[in-house]
Structure 1
Amino acid sequence: MSLNAQLKSFKAGVTGQGNFAQARRHVPSPAPTSQSSAPSTPGASTTTTPSASAAAAAAAAAAAKRKKAAKNNVVYSQPADTGMGQYIMTQVLHLVEHLKAAEVPLTRAQLEEFLQKPLDNTMIQVLRSHDKLVFDAAADTYAFKPLHNIRSAQQLLTHLQAGTTAQGLSVKELKDGWAGALQTIDELEASKDILVTRTKKDGQARMVWINDKSLNVQIDDEFKNIWEKIVIPPAPELPGELERAGLKPTSVDPATIKNAMQKDTSKKTKKPRRGRITNTHLAGMLRDYN
């Protein structure tokens, strides 16, 4: 069969079949998920574009993610943080400092009010056995125990007068448990009741002594004038002046020292050094080759 005959046969077969052409199906676009909340004007409709809805959905997803990522620091199984710490010894330290600043005994209720929590049995045992606290069982009070039980001017004078040595009292020890120590020391020094030594750098009080006024002796002006007229010779001339006065100086004047011993400049002849014989037990067995 020729090519033309095949082409005619194909066209005849297609023409004999039915018409399969159909109308195009129209798929509507999806409805918008959100609309603008802005009020619409009469006669005009407001619709949300697909780009605006996608941006709003992305913003909502980001906000939800941030909210989920936020952590809640509240631990309901632990007591609330009152600023005093969560450990017993940390809370005890705060209580000791509070009693030190108060300078008066405080009851258990006052300590619980300061700590903002009740004191358990462990805390009570630690406070009662603390070396810096004093517990009064009769009054159920706690007080700070300073190095010296001194908190007034009269107590300071009484303590200094009872001292048996001239060692003095450290101001640093006085300030332990006594906030007004420095002011009281300044007042007692101004009234000449105590003697105070101070630092050269900033003039802070370091040590205090009692000023025993019974030892103050009134000296006549005539004696003072005689004492001031005495001329003290320079330090190098003091030994000589003492010797002329018939007194023995406590130090020796370098100018009066004579070198009594002269150095021997003669050379000393050195003797020949002989070797030490250590094999004397072999004297009869060895042969002398000299």
Structure 2
Amino acid sequence: MSLDKQAAAFTKSVQAQANFSGPRRVAAPTTSTTPAAASTPTTAPKRKRIVDRTKPVAPPIVYSQPTDTSLGTQHMMTQVHHAIQHLKQREVPQTPEQIASYLSIQMTPTLLQVLKQNERLTWNPAQGTLEYKPIHNIRSAQALLAHLQQQTTAQGLSVKELKDGWAGAVETIADLEESGDILVTRTKKDNQPRMVWINDKTLDIIVEDEFKAIWHKIVIPPPGDLPGELEKAGLKPTSVDPATIKKEVKGGAQKGRKRAQNRRVKVSNVHMNHILKDSKDLKR
């Protein structure tokens, strides 16, 4: 038997053992065993969602409602500010309807409650009105004089505080100052009233003309000669240090320093005289 015949016989036997001569079969997909999965092999299988029950679940967001940005509160406080300024300028009580009409706003129950509780406003439940409460309840010349007369100290009253809630404070102060009812201090820059006091006219003293003439006859020396004139009169000027004033020495010019006299010193170490004497000799 030749070599070619042996190779052909070997190939035939191998094909017979592997059954290569039968029809070719296609293997089914291993991703799913159901018929539906086999018919649609391109569709990915759905995974089951696992929810962790230990974590708190956030409430769902409702997008139909706007987020609270506190704009409503800011708008209300702006309305309160304008209402207070309006009552401060009017200086008379106003009803909530009058305030709302002037500011062109709607007086809601919440806004009215905030105005009632404001410390700068006074609510009158009998009349149903709101009024601005100034620092001092003074809005007339009579009220100002009465307040100054009741003061127990000489501290005075600030004009800045009087102007709070009283638009005519400056004009009234000028009239009372001209009539002599009050005393006023003013600023140097623009001559505006700063502090006011009551002018107690019972302390006014009538000075006779004769005494005024004597007073004006007294000649006051220049400021540079005033300390010397006071010294001549035996007085000590308050603007000069008394230690710097030279006093005249009786009996002539001031003597020089006396020479210091030698004082005798009692020797207590007599028993060491020989030692001290030897040490002095050595130094020499």
CA-to-partner distance for each residue in 1:157-176, whole Å, 9 max, x for gaps?
Answer: 11111111222211111111
- Matched length: 175
1:239–1:253 Cα contact (<8 Å) kept:
no
Paired amino acid for 1:99: L
- Which one of 120, 135, 141 corresponds to residue 147 of structure 1? 135
Report the secondary structure of 1:138's partner residue: coil
Which residue number corresponds to residue 207 of structure 2? 219
Which residue number corresponds to residue 185 of structure 1? 173
Which residue number corresponds to residue 133 of structure 1? 121
1:1-290 alignment runs, 5 A limit: 87-250=75-238, 251-252=240-241, 256=245
Measured in 1, the distance between the counterparts of 2:104 and 2:175 equals 39
1:160–1:209 Cα contact (<8 Å) kept:
yes
Report the secondary structure of 2:225's partner residue: helix
2:236–2:242 Cα contact (<8 Å) kept:
no
> Cα offset for 1:245?
2.2
Relative distance call for 1:159 and 1:232 in structure 2 (3 A) is same
TM-score (norm 2): 0.56
Relative distance call for 1:241 and 1:111 in structure 2 (3 A) is same
Relative distance call for 1:116 and 1:86 in structure 2 (3 A) is farther
Gaps of 5+ in 1: 1-76, 78-84, 259-290
Paired amino acid for 1:213: K
Report the secondary structure of 2:81's partner residue: helix
Measured in 1, the distance between the counterparts of 2:148 and 2:181 equals 10
Larger radius of gyration: 2
Measured in 2, the distance between the counterparts of 1:194 and 1:256 equals 46
Measured in 2, the distance between the counterparts of 1:108 and 1:255 equals 76
Which stretch of the first structure deviates more once superposed, 123-132 or 113-122?
Answer: 113-122
CA-to-partner distance for each residue in 1:241-262, whole Å, 9 max, x for gaps?
Answer: 333323333332686369xxxx
Report the secondary structure of 1:200's partner residue: coil
Paired amino acid for 1:189: E
Paired amino acid for 2:135: L
Report the secondary structure of 1:243's partner residue: helix
Paired amino acid for 1:249: P
> Cα offset for 1:231?
1.9
Paired amino acid for 1:170: S
Paired amino acid for 1:256: I
Which residue number corresponds to residue 3 of structure 2? none
Measured in 2, the distance between the counterparts of 1:239 and 1:186 equals 42
Which residue number corresponds to residue 257 of structure 2? none
Measured in 2, the distance between the counterparts of 1:186 and 1:238 equals 40
Q: Percent identity of the aligned residues?
A: 59
Note the aligned Cα RMSD (angstroms).
2.4
Measured in 1, the distance between the counterparts of 2:208 and 2:165 equals 45
TM-score (norm 1): 0.55
Measured in 1, the distance between the counterparts of 2:129 and 2:224 equals 69
2:136–2:162 Cα contact (<8 Å) kept:
yes
> Cα offset for 1:89?
0.6
Paired amino acid for 2:158: S
Measured in 2, the distance between the counterparts of 1:173 and 1:91 equals 25
> Cα offset for 1:122?
2.2
Which residue number corresponds to residue 264 of structure 1? none
